[in-house]
Copies of this chain bind each other. A is one copy, B any other.
Amino acid sequence: MMPITIRDVAKKAGVAPSTVSRVVADSSSISGKTKEKVRKVMDELNYFPNANAQRLAGSRSKTLGLVLPSASDAFYQNPFFPTVLRGINYAMSQNDYSILLSSGQTNHQRLKHIQKIVRGKQVEGLIFLYATKDDPLLAFAQESAIPSVVVGSPGDAKVHLVDNDNEELGRIATEHLIKKGCEKIAYIGGDMDQFFILDRLKGYKQALVANSLPFQEHFIHNDFSFLALDGYHLAQNTLKFAQYDGLVIADELVAEGIQKALTEEKNTQIKTMSFKAYEHPLYRPLTEEFYINLNSHLLGNRAVEILFDALADKEASKQRYIHEYISADIVPVRED
């Protein structure tokens, strides 16, 4: 059974195919009368334009690519991911673009796939949901000059990017603990290839210096991956022997693990500050009165918006790369 084409509509409406095409595009050079007539027929025939034909002829795919990191447990478990995605989805529903997911297990697979969808004209722009050093996919995006925005800060890449100001947040978090009277504060990091870990660390150091507290290399803990369980074990094994009175925990999952361990042993000596993708006041460790709400959904929101701006006037956007910080706020753990 043949699908209904633009010609079927044209014939039944008594106009030319080109006219129907213009009606679909809501072109201003078609009279209201004609539009109405054609639209009626489109409804009757239940016509939907073939997107592939539209794209081939019009060369706009109305689709954005979403680049995920190699499927790692840590990424998928982290609330950051669904939260940003929610923001993206929200922004997308304001326009009629679609999202295409990149896939692939290995880096090589992922590069192949992204090449295919970019060079194959399936997507008009790319959103990277992670930022690591020397990422081959990002390199490809730059050389192929497709509008791209990175959620996070991949060094000095020549792309748009949107992120929290992690250096400042690291500072704020640390200073908050200092104000609360902490004097021996550890920094719990994680994967040192992730820029936000490094940036928050910078802020942490600044805060110590600014408050004349000694900075010591062994206050920094990075020897574990990004899973909550690692945080839990870290808290059980390492931290409690180190006599810390404060912890700045850069990763959300790790923070959950640590805070759980501390709560279980009713440890209220060690205060913590952590960063959460969004507000979820459930997680109310004994050890934390405030946390930093990163508003990660806004990252997704802005990423889409920036891409649209870039798409709207490619030339202008090539001139300069937008580096935008989304504001985060310190939020009390309990509302009362």
Contact = CB atoms under 8 A, between A and B. Distances in A.
A49 to B, nearest CB: 6
A2 to B, nearest CB: 11
A15 interface: no
A50 B121 contact: yes
Contact of A280 (B77, B109, B119): B77
A101 B113 CA distance: 17
A332 to B, nearest CB: 15
Contact of A82 (B81, B99, B121, B122): B81
A260 interface: yes
A61 interface: yes
What interface size band does chain A fall in?
Answer: 35 or more
Given A76-B85, A82-B82, A89-B71, A256 B282 contact: yes
Contacts of A331: none
Interface string A67-85: 0100101001101011101
Contact of A52 (B48, B52, B77, B93): B52
A122 B68 contact: no
Contacts of A228: 280, 282
A229 interface: yes
A255 to B, nearest CB: 12
B282 A257 contact: yes
Q: Which 10 A-B pairs have the closest CB atoms?
A: A51-B120, A48-B119, A52-B55, A99-B101, A76-B82, A228-B282, A52-B56, A92-B103, A76-B86, A93-B105
